[in-house]
Amino acid sequence: MGTIDYREPVLDVRPRNSSRKLITASRVGETNRGRVLEILHRSGPSSRAELARVLSVNRATIASILQPLIDVGVLVEKPPIAASPAGGKPARPIWFSRNGPLLGAVQVSPDFVAAALLGIDGNVRVRASAVYERDADSQTILSALVEATSTCFSAADLIGIGVAASGMVKISTGSIISMHLTPGLNGIEIGQTLEDRFGTPVLVDHHPRVQALGDLWFGLGRDIEDFASVYTGEALGFGIVHRGSIIRGRDGAGGESGHTTVQLDGALCRCGRRGCWETVATLGWLRQKSSELGLDNASEMTAATLLSQVSDGNTVAAGLMSLYARNLAVGMINNEQILASGTYIMHGDVCGGGKPMLEAIQDWMNKLAPARETNPLVLFATQPDEITLLGGGGLILSSAFATVA
């Protein structure tokens, strides 16, 4: 597998009705094409005049940006809508073609692999998944990967496949370096396996970072320049969008916020360190605390079941919810102190806690935040199951169309 360059890729879009068409344009042209796609995802169908205005270019330039995307079937001009009362030529909104090129998205998790075939508009066309045990060996996991992806991608002509991988990733080889929950994922060659099978570019990245790209392209982050996408549940992770760009450390490093230290000499973490954020704000911690406090169904406690006990008037459960909220807020405030992301889009277990959980976290964020005019804002993702897979599509869009992400 070759080195992946996220900065200067070539737009390789294959129209359905010709064998293959490769567009190579200047960086500026590609960036503008990427921006057009971003604007459409954010604003919906837009006229040429509207796109020109947002990009601050004239009508001739917007035509030169749009035409290649129309030629290869990414975008279409829809039927004219009625002219405004002021008169003038009726506008023909530009939108994604339903028959346009397709994106592959894959999520490799501690106990399942999910795959989806996506339209360039983010519509899920086909979906499949396969499960494995936490003690599964690498071969079993690769078989599950092939099973789920073959169902989705075998008959498709893809721009590329974007993969959200759990654990520490190595982008240049498309592999997982280590995954504490499922050791069979250690060293697994996801990128090579998928490239060999489907003959299309494959980009593998850290799960929370891909989740952030899902927020950025298709979710609550569409209108936000700075935000952190936070994964909660059995593990904790951050994907950070800063000034409109996703942040990546060298070869995919970083985003391991779950292993930042929040308690010196605290509990032993599965990574070998002590007092990591994961030791005080994950499901493992919640279940341990529930057990110590004598709550019902402690061993299967989640934010959702905790909420139901709170709703039943259990004051001990209410206290634990506040503690869970505080401990989550601590990790996010640490990021606020360093990067001031401002908005925190939360995913995973915590969303099951509903409005009371959201309000509890926001209260703690307000208490702990640096004293400035506005406090950081906490949001719960609205499509938590879909957004990581959609982010796999965002990873390909960001690369293929050379946007900043």
Q: Which of these ranges, 40-48, 142-150, 275-283, 311-319, lies near Zn ion under the rule CB under 5 A?
A: 275-283
Provide, rounded to whole angstroms, the least separation between the CB of residue 332 and Zn ion: 17
Query: 75, 98 in Cβ contact below 8 A?
Result: no
**3-state DSSP assignment of residue 292:** helix
Q: Which of these ranges, 35-43, 89-97, 215-223, 270-278, lies near Zn ion under the rule CB under 5 A?
A: 270-278
Query: 148, 128 in Cβ contact below 8 A?
Result: yes
Among 36, 142, 202, 269, binds Zn ion (CB under 5 A): 269
Task: Indicate the Cα dihedral angle 227, 165, 301, 286, nearest 10°.
Answer: -60
| Site for Zn ion contains 271 (CB under 5 A) | yes
Tell me, what DSSP letter sits at residue 91? P
Total residues at the site for Zn ion (CB under 5 A)? 5
In the bound state with Zn ion, the residue whose beta carbon lies nearer, of 178 and 297, is 178
| Site for Zn ion contains 42 (CB under 5 A) | no
Q: Tell me which H or E stretch contains 84.
A: none
| Site for Zn ion contains 206 (CB under 5 A) | no
Please provide the size of the chain in residues.
405
> Which has the closest alpha carbon to 214: 236, 229, 235?
229
- Token pair 């989550």 in the structure block, residue: 328
The CB density around residue 274, as the number of other CB atoms within 10 Å, is 14
Provide, rounded to whole angstroms, the least separation between the CB of residue 215 and Zn ion: 25
Positive or negative torsion for Cα 318, 323, 324, 328: positive
| Site for Zn ion contains 361 (CB under 5 A) | no
The CB density around residue 119, as the number of other CB atoms within 10 Å, is 17
Q: For residue 354, what are its two tokens?
A: 């509903």
Which residues are registered as beta bridge partners of 231? 237, 347
**Calpha distance 179→49 (Å, rounded):** 49
Task: Indicate the Cα dihedral angle 318, 306, 165, 224, nearest 10°.
Answer: -50
In the bound state with Zn ion, the residue whose beta carbon lies nearer, of 173 and 260, is 260
Provide, rounded to whole angstroms, the least separation between the CB of residue 362 and Zn ion: 26
**Residues in contact with Zn ion, shown as a per-residue x/- string from 237 to 266 under the rule CB under 5 A:** ----------------------x-------
Which residues are registered as beta bridge partners of 131? 112
Provide, rounded to whole angstroms, the least separation between the CB of residue 268 and Zn ion: 9
Provide, rounded to whole angstroms, the least separation between the CB of residue 149 and Zn ion: 31
Query: 139, 81 in Cβ contact below 8 A?
Result: no
| Site for Zn ion contains 113 (CB under 5 A) | no
Q: Which of these ranges, 4-12, 31-39, 276-284, 394-402, lies near Zn ion under the rule CB under 5 A?
A: 276-284
Provide, rounded to whole angstroms, the least separation between the CB of residue 323 and Zn ion: 20
Sequence letter at residue 138: S
In the bound state with Zn ion, the residue whose beta carbon lies nearer, of 222 and 273, is 273
Provide, rounded to whole angstroms, the least separation between the CB of residue 281 and Zn ion: 12
| Site for Zn ion contains 276 (CB under 5 A) | yes
In the bound state with Zn ion, the residue whose beta carbon lies nearer, of 152 and 332, is 332
In the bound state with Zn ion, the residue whose beta carbon lies nearer, of 271 and 369, is 271
In the bound state with Zn ion, the residue whose beta carbon lies nearer, of 187 and 275, is 275
In the bound state with Zn ion, the residue whose beta carbon lies nearer, of 70 and 271, is 271
Backbone dihedral angles phi then psi of residue 160, each to the nearest 5 degrees: 175, 175
Provide, rounded to whole angstroms, the least separation between the CB of residue 168 and Zn ion: 12
| Site for Zn ion contains 273 (CB under 5 A) | yes
In the bound state with Zn ion, the residue whose beta carbon lies nearer, of 53 and 270, is 270
Task: Indicate the Cα dihedral angle 258, 259, 260, 263, nearest 10°.
Answer: 100
In the bound state with Zn ion, the residue whose beta carbon lies nearer, of 279 and 302, is 279
Which residues would be at the binding site for Zn ion (CB under 5 A)? 259, 269, 271, 273, 276
